[in-house]
Amino acid sequence: MTTLGRLARWTGNWIPAALARPFGAPTAVFFHGVEPRIGDPLLQVNQHRLDAFEGMARLMKRDFDVLPLVALRDVLKAPEKYPRALFLMSDDGYANILTTAAPILDAMRLPWTLFVSTHHIDTGEFTPPTLTRLFCREAPAGEYKIPYLGTVVPGIAEERESLTEWAWERLKALDGLRANEALDAMKTALGDIDLKSAYPSESFLTWDQIRELRARGVEIGAHAHQHWAMHGGQSRAWLTGQALQSKLRIEQEVGACRFFAYPFGNRGDVGRMAWEVVRDAGYENAFTTVAGSLDASANPFLLPRYGLAPEENNLAAFLPVVRANNARLQSWQSEIGTP
């Protein structure tokens, strides 16, 4: 989180909701998975605790007008008319949301959108950051030659944690083709370890389960084909595949796919070619993870979103504060282009 983000969160903790409400603006927020309990916070970084998520859902129900994403077009045309508008989203497609988040949101009649990474739905394979963490944690002691990372030596627990940070920073900077070579070597090193049984919170929905959610009114959007950064180091052909293949798979399995969310989605994770290929693939809008309010964006394929923290106790006061990041968002959009 940036210094501005930390300041905004601190400010939002003490501002009374009633005082902040006049400064409200339409906002998009997102989460990932939801687990009954968090037993391994270093691995389950994308999981909300069930009781905390239910508390956030109650705040959203009480303090905002939570709208389906199909209302986005009207909101973007006249954001000043929708100061309490909130769009709720979930990224990746973790299996646990079917039994944890979905029943809560159904009971409260809160519309939401699910963005899925279609490669991981097709194969059940863990995301690259999760696989990297598990390689560094679970690979038997020894030396491993990982393409583009060199010789990697998992050692004692403390060394493995620092190794995870080192490996991930280097892996994330690679283009998708080279990154997949490194990931394949990590999978080979892990051998026959049954990771899905050991780490069920990181497992993915099936297409049948996604169809069930669609039948219950959930909007289904694309989160790229493989959950990988669409930064400026990627080729246009690879980026086009990420945007187009995910859209085609969703349309083949569940129906229309109109919206896109970039994996990781921060400033260094999305380049000019990324939003161009998303636009050219036929999406109506696309979302980053750069915070801001929806009245800020000149580029409909670089819309802001705020990632919900593990616990949020004062969303009505905090979310109006995220518009303070709009200038930073607009500056970034100017750097990588507008339609």
pLDDT of residue 22: 61
**Can you tell me the distance from the alpha carbon of 54 to that of 62, in angstroms, rounded to the nearest whole number?**
12
Does 283 lie in the same domain as 236? Answer: yes
Assess whether 225 and 238 both reside in one domain: yes
How far apart CA 253 and CA 13 sit, in angstroms, is 43
Do 169 and 207 lie in a common domain?
no
189 shares its domain with 255:
no
Residue ending a domain, among 197, 223, 248, is 197
Final residue belonging to a domain, choices 142, 162, 197: 197
Asked if residue 136 and residue 277 are part of one domain, the reply reads: no
Structural domain containing residue 156: 128-197
Q: Do 154 and 162 contact (CB within 8 A), yes or no?
A: no
CA–CA dist 239, 255 (Å, integer): 22
CB 288 within 8 A of CB 303: yes
Per-residue confidence (pLDDT) for residue 103, from 0 to 100: 98
What pLDDT, on a 0 to 100 scale, did the predictor assign at position 19? 58
Whether the predicted pLDDT of 226 surpasses 80: yes
Q: Are residues 109 and 18 in the same domain?
A: yes
- Pair (305, 165) in one structural domain: no
pLDDT given for residue 297 in this prediction: 74
Q: What percent of the chain has pLDDT over 70?
A: 93
Same domain, 110 and 16: yes
Rg of the chain over Cα atoms, rounded to whole angstroms, equals 20
Per-residue pLDDT for 16 more than 70?
no
pLDDT value at position 23? 67
CB 121 within 8 A of CB 207: yes
Mean per-residue pLDDT, 203-215: 98
Judged by phi (left if over 0) then psi (alpha if -120 to 50, else beta), residue 337 lies in left
Do 13 and 90 lie in one domain? The reply is: yes
Q: Output the pLDDT for position 12.
A: 55
The predicted model gives 71-84 an average pLDDT of 94
CA distance 249 to 228: 17
- Hey, what are 200's tokens? 């069920």
pLDDT at 339: 78
pLDDT greater than 90 at residue 200: yes
Least confident of 26-35, 49-58, 133-142, 224-233: 133-142
Return the residue matching tokens 């990590």: 186
Q: What is the mean pLDDT of residues 250-268?
A: 97
Q: Looking at residue 51, which CATH number applies to its domain? A: 3.20.20.370
Torsion angle in degrees (nearest 10) through CA of 224, 226, 229, 232: -80
Give the model's pLDDT for residue 154: 84
Are 94 and 33 in contact by the 8 Å Cβ rule? The answer is yes
**Same domain (yes/no): 207, 190:** no
Single out the residue in 177, 197, 217 at which a domain terminates. Answer: 197
Class of residue 122 by CB neighbours under 10 A (exposed 0-12, middle 13-18, buried 19+): middle
Q: Are residues 161 and 244 in the same domain?
A: no
* 181 Cβ contact list (under 8 Å, min separation 6): 147, 148
Q: What is the pLDDT of residue 264?
A: 97
* Cβ proximity of 260 and 283 under 8 Å: yes
Q: Residue 15 — very low, low, confident or very high, per pLDDT cuts 50/70/90?
A: low
Specify the number of domains making up the chain. 2
Could you read off the pLDDT of 104-136 as tens digits, one per residue? Answer: 999 999 999 999 999 999 999 999 999 999 999
Stretch 241-256: mean pLDDT, rounded?
98
**Same domain, yes or no, for 163 and 265?**
no
Instruction: Compute the distance between CA of residue 278 and CA of residue 265 in angstroms, rounded to an integer.
Output: 13
Distances (CA, A) of 115 to 38, 199, 308: 23, 21, 15
Q: Confidence band (pLDDT; 50, 70, 90) for 322?
A: confident
Whether the per-residue pLDDT at 173 is higher than 90: the answer is yes
pLDDT (mean) for 69-95? 96
